[in-house]
Amino acid sequence: MSEFIKLEIEEDRVCDAISKIGYSPAPALLDICDNSVTARAKNIKIVLNKKDGKTLSNKNNVLSYTIIDDGKGMSNRDIEKGLTIGSPVTYGKNSLSKYGFGLKSAGLSLGQKIIVYSKKNGVLSKAYTLDREKVKSDGFGVYKGEISDASEQLSPNLLDDYQSGTVVHITNTVPHHDSITKTKNKLEEQMGVIYFDYLKKGLNIFLDYSNKLKVIEPIDILHWGDSISSFVNDKYCGTRPIKVLNEKVKLPELPENTPPIIIKACTFPQDKMSSVSSLDTEDRKRLKGYKVGRDRKGAFIYRNGRLISWGHSLDGIVGRDYLGLRVKIEVETAHDEALHVDVSKQHFVLPESFLNTLQRLLEIPKSTHKEVFAKCKSITDNDENSPEGSKFNERNESFSEEDPDDDTGTIDLVKANARREKIVSESKVKAPANENSSEDDLHDSDVFKRIVYSSKVKGNRFWDAGLDIDHGSFSIVNKNHDFYHLIMANLGSSSWERQALEAMAYSLASAENNTLKNFNLGLDDKIKPEEELIIIKNILEKFKKVFSHQLETWALSNQDILKDD
């Protein structure tokens, strides 16, 4: 008989491997939320804690992540099992959990330290800490202790309002993570879609950041209730989606008694329809809510009522040009073996037979999509009256503002923070409201305006820069500058050409602010800090003056350029 040899496991390398399954912060937080849903929580709160001296749009600005729920809770022994790799837990039918890796892989992708405490039937557990640094020296395991001793950032009172529930706190965040703005925008945009079925059945999810509390509303990715049942070209006004598919499909690879996969599809009007001035406010607001574009096209695949794949191309069946075609595919645990669902429950393989069926079913919907977009184009071609800057601001709401030197360690953070406060203070004086805004403006009040147009910019500058304490830089474009009224004003306010020029104006403002805030002349022993700032301001003012003059000269010399096309 052969000899069995038990081999060692390098615990820290295993931790490193499961932390690199492919998460970014938003999906990692969602994977932890799945545990709360599995625990039958009715209320889940995600808290994004910001580092001091950072704006919401700075990269690497998260101090810690905290997830709080009122699920069934865990005993001390339950927590120990939950923090075991490949948790020895039996999951119920159609559970969102599968392999017992989620909390560890998702948590360690966010930070080096995971702290968990819980309450079950009124009894509070100890705090359990999984610390990568300790794993390196002591092997894989957890430290059990008092909640108050686990972390300065962690309160033992987070479950006071609940009879049962759990807190997961992740700190010592990994470098090079997404900004709070990018993460919270992804969560706001996606959670209503991902947990649509659960939210409709009474689940409440809250997002807490920078002293703001956002309630996540359920979003039907197909907007099935808004959709009309058929497309008639002459009668279609471009304000609602159209139902183009509603089928049930059996997988031949699975037993005959396996439930069918449910497939539905809608094709949506073009995004630019939300700017058509002839439509009423309600229609435009609803159209904007559809968020038609590359981020919401393709197949949305749900497993047990929870979205696991966002915008799948179905191996090219829904190509890049089908921006308004959405397919909803609903599968269950019974389909896992045929789909080869992986540890993250985000990756799988669609069987060839199923793809062939989809290819056939989607031929007519794809044809309808082309007709719908052609109809919308005919409506929008002569209507470009959306508020200036609105499309750019909407598209770039989660844009991360970066200084390339942020990661080099060459920035004097104390000096940079002091300058930042001064720039913010000065920005409050010169920041105008968008002169085109009105009560009917489609801007949401919570969409930060990175681009603002104004006729009150002093001098002949093309732009003026401002800095918001939470959101970062914004650019005020001068409507009195010749480049604006000879070139930009002649471009549709939603056109890609206008948005490209707005990107340039925003980047100029961001570069100005980051230079003012972070640049060091290296003369600390020769001049005072306020004198150094004045010198940098004067250099930037000279740059702005020359840039604006050259741009004006070019515009005057080439004012017929648009007529040449």
- Could you report the per-residue pLDDT of 503-562, keeping only the tens digit for each? 999 999 999 999 998 888 888 778 888 888 889 999 999 999 999 999 999 999 998 887
Identify whether residues 469 and 428 lie together within a single domain: yes
Q: Report helix, strand and coil shares of the chain as percent, to nearest 5.
A: 40, 20, 45
Residue 94 has pLDDT above 50, yes or no: no
Single residue among 216, 245, 274 that ends a domain in this structure: 216
What is the percentage of the chain residues whose pLDDT exceeds 90?
53
Residue of 347, 332, 398, 337 lying closest to 31 (CA atoms): 347
Strand partners, 58: 401
Measure the CA–CA gap between 154 and 68, rounded to whole angstroms: 12
Residue 19 C-beta-side C-alpha neighbours within 13 Å:
18
41, part of any domain: yes
pLDDT at 99: 43
Residue 457 has pLDDT above 80, yes or no: yes
The whole-number average pLDDT for the span 149-158 is: 90
The whole-number average pLDDT for the span 26-53 is: 93
pLDDT at 439: 34
Single residue among 183, 216, 249 that ends a domain in this structure: 216
**179 is written with which tokens?**
């900004």
pLDDT at 218: 96
- Provide the edge-to-edge strand list for the sheet that holds 306-312: 242-249, 261-267, 325-331, 298-303, 306-312
Model-level pTM?
0.72
Residue of 223, 187, 220 lying closest to 205 (CA atoms): 187
Measure the CA–CA gap between 355 and 405, rounded to whole angstroms: 47
Identify whether residues 311 and 365 lie together within a single domain: yes
Question: For position 27, which CATH number holds?
Answer: 3.30.565.10
pLDDT at 442: 33
Residue 221 has pLDDT above 90, yes or no: yes
Identify whether residues 159 and 55 lie together within a single domain: yes
Residue of 78, 33, 445 lying closest to 198 (CA atoms): 33
Residue 21 has pLDDT above 80, yes or no: no
Q: Which residue has the tokens 């950072």?
A: 54
Containing structural domain, residue 362: 233-382
Helix, strand or coil, per DSSP, at residue 482: helix
Identify whether residues 407 and 511 lie together within a single domain: yes
pLDDT at 386: 66
Residue 487 has pLDDT above 70, yes or no: yes
pLDDT at 22: 65
Q: Which of 46-50, 327-331, 417-421 has the lowest mean pLDDT?
A: 417-421
pLDDT band of 437, cuts 50, 70, 90? very low
Identify whether residues 542 and 407 lie together within a single domain: yes
Query: Is the Cβ–Cβ distance between 214 and 184 less than 8 Å?
Result: yes
Query: Is the Cβ–Cβ distance between 467 and 448 less than 8 Å?
Result: no
Looking at per-residue pLDDT, the higher value among 79 and 96 belongs to: 79
Looking at per-residue pLDDT, the higher value among 299 and 440 belongs to: 299
Single residue among 216, 245, 277 that ends a domain in this structure: 216
The whole-number average pLDDT for the span 79-106 is: 67
Identify whether residues 475 and 517 lie together within a single domain: yes
Residue 431 has pLDDT above 70, yes or no: no
Looking at per-residue pLDDT, the higher value among 369 and 12 belongs to: 369
Identify whether residues 130 and 247 lie together within a single domain: no
Residue 476 has pLDDT above 50, yes or no: yes
Identify whether residues 292 and 396 lie together within a single domain: no
pLDDT at 493: 80
Give the count of domains, the chain: 3
Residue 345 has pLDDT above 60, yes or no: no
Residue of 103, 120, 118, 106 lying closest to 35 (CA atoms): 103
Over its C-alpha atoms, the chain yields an Rg (Å, rounded) of 27
Residue 435 has pLDDT above 70, yes or no: no
Q: Which of 32-36, 220-224, 527-531 has the lowest mean pLDDT?
A: 527-531
Residue 89 has pLDDT above 80, yes or no: no
pLDDT at 200: 95
Q: Please, what is the Cα angle at 53 between 49 and 58, to 5 degrees?
A: 70
Residue 137 has pLDDT above 90, yes or no: no
pLDDT at 436: 47
pLDDT at 82: 87
Measure the CA–CA gap between 560 and 486, rounded to whole angstroms: 9
Query: Is the Cβ–Cβ distance between 451 and 463 less than 8 Å?
Result: no
